[in-house]
Chains A and B, each alone.
Chain A
Amino acid sequence: MIHNLTPLQLDAIREVGNIGAGHAATVLSQLLNQKVSMSVPEVNILPLAEACDVVGGPEQPMVGVYLRVFGGAPSKILYLFPEDKALFLAGLLINDQEKCRNLLGELEVSALKEIGNILTGAYVYAFSNFTGIDMLSSVPALAFDMVGAIINTVLADLGEMGDYALIIKTQLSACDESVDGHFFLVPDPGSLATILAALGVKDGCQKRSGSECPN
């Protein structure tokens, strides 16, 4: 079903992504006391074989913070930050750049996970309010590695259902791009129908009285 979504359905998905990411960006902005800008979410539907290239070269080292979302529409959430930006971000959170030098240090890992936690909380809250679907996020997990390997691990179980991944991708940046990262929402295959139904676009077009569905 993923690769025959109608333009209206794609728009609806993008809009939920927009609302969720908007809240997450607001929270990040409050957390850092900095202006945070956000791209319009992109809905990518990719064959699994190409999904690792979604943020560019798969061998680029990046920090990934990964969370599962449980409830009515199980999904995965992944934040990706280039290594220097991740360190800077951790430094901003604990308000001491000098202390954040080692990406795999306990303090840095903890700070980055907490950022993932807070952003996800905001995202899931907004998403849940908008769609009426109950959602709850797991504790965060962190990896620092080649970005292809991170994405490949996160997406592996999608393979059970099909050959495509639907990824809602948003870019966040702050402090003149000293903070710059990607934010992914990947609904589990079964969740897509739930989300579309909650948005009233299950059949590919919104039913309003007096208006016909264009086919």
Chain B
Amino acid sequence: MSETIRVGMSQLVVAEAPTILVTLGLGSCVAVCIYDYLLKVGGMAHVMLPDSSLSNDVTNRGKFADTAVVDLVSALQKKGTAKERMVVKIAGGAQMFSYQGIDNQIQIGVRNVKAVEENLARLGLTITSRSVGGNLGRSVFMDLSTGDVRVKMLNSPEIIL
């Protein structure tokens, strides 16, 4: 029986097979999933905000795209994973509310995705597959035995990244 670990908003978890990393109900947040097929080790970060430099409290580094990506990669490297073997998949960043103007928070999903992409690129990592944007929330299940990332959306068929 494989163990399931919930990755809540702003959390970052690294584990190994046969664990399943799960985040339920992602809206504008982005789940960054990185996996090493050889070691069957992987991690997930549940990113809420694009940029730690806009914040005055950076104690929880898992919250921001820039710090979370760096920390996730280095946590995996500590487990013996090399960057060349890292397979990166991302999901989330939806725009949940259709809304006219005034609040740039509403655009936060788009900004989160962009920030995650930029920060991964800065570390020389490419994204293998993604399910981002749109206006539907997502639940993400990352199976560390296979590296499959299942994405569930309301009233839509399941996607495997």
Q: Give A contacts to B, CB under 8 Å.
A: 47-52, 57-59, 61, 64, 66, 68, 138-139, 141-157, 159-163
Q: Are B25 and A152 neighbours in the complex by a CB distance under 8 Å?
A: yes
Name which residue of chain B comes closest to A149, CB basis. Answer: B137
Residues of B within 8 A of A47 (CB): 8
Report 12 cross-chain contacts, Cβ distance below 8 Å, ordered by A residue: A48-B9, A52-B8, A66-B97, A141-B99, A142-B98, A146-B139, A149-B27, A151-B27, A152-B28, A153-B96, A156-B27, A159-B63
Name which residue of chain B comes closest to A161, CB basis. Answer: B57
Q: Are B108 and A157 neighbours in the complex by a CB distance under 8 Å?
A: yes
Kindly state whether residue B2 has any CB partner on chain A within 8 Å.
no
User: Interface stretch among B33-41, B48-56, B116-124, B143-151?
Assistant: B48-56
Interface centre among B9, B55, B135 (most CB of A within 10 A): B9
Cβ < 8 Å to A, chain B residues 31-90: 48-49, 54-57, 59-60, 63-64
Residues of A within 8 A of B19 (CB): none
Q: Given that A146-B139, A151-B25 are known contacts, is A156 also in contact with B48, CB under 8 Å in the complex? A: yes
| CB < 8 Å neighbour of B8 from A48, A61, A138, A142 | A48
Q: Are A142 and B97 neighbours in the complex by a CB distance under 8 Å?
A: yes
Q: Given that A50-B8, A146-B24, A155-B9 are known contacts, is A141 also in contact with B48, CB under 8 Å in the complex? A: no
Distance in Å from the Cβ of A150 to the closest Cβ of chain B?
Answer: 6
Q: Are B27 and A138 neighbours in the complex by a CB distance under 8 Å?
A: no
Q: Are B105 and A139 neighbours in the complex by a CB distance under 8 Å?
A: no
Kindly state whether residue B103 has any CB partner on chain A within 8 Å.
yes
Cβ < 8 Å to A, chain B residues 99-113: 99-100, 102-103, 105-106, 108-109
How many B residues have CB within 8 A of the partner chain?
A: 39
Kindly state whether residue B94 has any CB partner on chain A within 8 Å.
yes
Q: Are A153 and B28 neighbours in the complex by a CB distance under 8 Å?
A: yes
In the complex, A142→B100 CA distance in Å?
A: 12
Kindly state whether residue B29 has any CB partner on chain A within 8 Å.
yes
Q: Are A159 and B8 neighbours in the complex by a CB distance under 8 Å?
A: no
Q: Given that A68-B103, A148-B137, A153-B97 are known contacts, is A51 also in contact with B54, CB under 8 Å in the complex? A: no
Contact with A along B129-149 (1 / 0, CB 8 A): 000000111110000000000
Residues of A within 8 A of B102 (CB): 68, 138
Distance in Å from the Cβ of A200 to the closest Cβ of chain B?
Answer: 28
Q: Are B96 and A163 neighbours in the complex by a CB distance under 8 Å?
A: no
In the complex, A145→B8 CA distance in Å?
A: 18
Name which residue of chain A comes closest to B137, CB basis. Answer: A149
Q: Are A157 and B49 neighbours in the complex by a CB distance under 8 Å?
A: yes
In the complex, A52→B23 CA distance in Å?
A: 11
Q: Are A145 and B96 neighbours in the complex by a CB distance under 8 Å?
A: yes
Q: Given that A68-B103, A152-B29 are known contacts, is A146 also in contact with B55, CB under 8 Å in the complex? A: no
Q: Are B56 and A59 neighbours in the complex by a CB distance under 8 Å?
A: no
Q: Given that A146-B24, A155-B9 are known contacts, is A161 also in contact with B55, CB under 8 Å in the complex? A: yes
Q: Are B57 and A163 neighbours in the complex by a CB distance under 8 Å?
A: yes
Interface centre among B59, B97, B106, B138 (most CB of A within 10 A): B97
Closest 4 CB pairs of A and B: A148-B25, A149-B137, A49-B8, A153-B27
